[in-house]
Amino acid sequence: MSDIQIRQFACRSDNFGVLVHDPASGTTISIDAPDEAPIVAALKAEGWRLTHILTTHHHGDHVEANLALKTAYGVEIVGPQKERAQIPGIDRAVAGGDAFEMGGIAVEAIDTPGHTLGELSYHLPAAKAVFAGDALFSLGCGRLFEGDAAMMWASLQRLRMLPDDTMLYCGHEYTTTNARFSIDVDPGNTALRNRVEEVERLRIAGRPTLPVLLGTEKHTNPFLRADNPDLMAALGMSGAEPADVFATLREKRNSY
């Protein structure tokens, strides 16, 4: 059994910061670097020293603290090859399908373009966790700033192949709005209703709705269910191509 510890905390207006720590090696990875102060505070609270930053994509709210943390801790920054030129301080570029190590922690990069063209998600098998940046959210997915719907649907299908007992961490707390949208498009989904009730309870208690089991997302997130016959029927799209169903869902969500 792995001893890897994961700490998640709020950053900026609705970003998540996440630290991954391996007590055996002392390795501490920041998943993205949204904001220096809360990351430093979380490190101090745990008594951990930052050794690495693992970047999902180039947007400012995910890389803003890269250089400050690199200066303060001398960390190694690892990120997507395709966005190498846009990631401040990057030391090592990786690509989808790569399996690599960061200070003794095994990481698998999953190609998840769509939100940006080079976005990677990172699976840590020993921690049974995946860090999906702005590709997949709880009950939602990232906006298509650079890629298209077919590209993002292919990305989400890759994430969907991970085991049900994988914990999903992502870049933002958008679940309340996503939950309202999901119920609107998939009102007959009992698993979704249960998850929405849980989301409401968590938010009332002032708690985050992430992480969440990927197995739960597979049954509740409409963007992971674009090929589900019940959801297709609810959308009036029975027999349509899943990529077209996905595109319709994404367009509806854009104007929701």
Amino acid at 217: E
Residue 118 touches which member of Zn ion, Fe ion, none, C-beta under 5-8 Å by kind: none
Query: Measured between alpha carbons, how far is 51 from 16 in angstroms, rounded to an integer?
Result: 19
Given the complex with Fe ion, which of 83 and 186 has the nearer CB atom?
Answer: 83
237-244: Cβ within 8 A, 24+ apart: 242/153, 243/149, 243/150, 243/153, 244/149
Query: Measured between alpha carbons, how far is 110 from 97 in angstroms, rounded to an integer?
Result: 6
Give min distance, CB of 146 to Fe ion, in A. Answer: 13
Give min distance, CB of 96 to Zn ion, in A. Answer: 17
Any contact of residue 21 with Zn ion (CB under 5 A)?
A: no
Which of the 8 DSSP states describes residue 125? Answer: G
Range in contact with Fe ion (rule: CB under 5 A) among 54-62, 155-163, 209-217, 246-254: 54-62
Q: Residue-wise over 85-118: b if at least 16 C-beta within 10 A, else e?
A: ebbbbbeebbebebeeebeebebbbbbbbbbbeb
Any contact of residue 59 with Zn ion (CB under 5 A)?
A: yes
In the shown chain, the binding pattern of residues 104 to 143 toward Zn ion, with x for contact by CB under 5 A and - for none, equals: ------------------------------x---------
Any contact of residue 134 with Fe ion (CB under 5 A)?
A: yes
Given the complex with Fe ion, which of 119 and 186 has the nearer CB atom?
Answer: 119
Give min distance, CB of 207 to Zn ion, in A. Answer: 23
Given the complex with Zn ion, which of 14 and 230 has the nearer CB atom?
Answer: 14
Range in contact with Fe ion (rule: CB under 5 A) among 74-82, 127-135, 152-160, 224-232: 127-135
Residue 96 touches which member of Zn ion, Fe ion, none, C-beta under 5-8 Å by kind: none
Give min distance, CB of 4 to Zn ion, in A. Answer: 25
Q: Which residue has the tokens 């609107």?
A: 184
Any contact of residue 114 with Fe ion (CB under 5 A)?
A: no
Amino acid at 133: G
Nearest residue to 215 via CA among 194, 187, 241: 194
Amino acid at 122: Y
Concatenating the DSSP letter of every residue in 185-230 gives H-TT-HHHHHHHHHHHHHHHTT----SEEHHHHHHH-GGG-TT-HH
Nearest residue to 133 via CA among 177, 187, 83: 83
Given the complex with Zn ion, which of 148 and 241 has the nearer CB atom?
Answer: 148
Query: Measured between alpha carbons, how far is 148 from 247 in angstroms, rounded to an integer?
Result: 8
| Binds Fe ion by CB under 5 A, chosen from 22, 61, 108, 186 | 61
| Binds Fe ion by CB under 5 A, chosen from 88, 140, 147, 171 | 171
Binding residues for Zn ion, rule: CB under 5 A, are: 59, 134
Binding residues for Fe ion, rule: CB under 5 A, are: 61, 134, 171
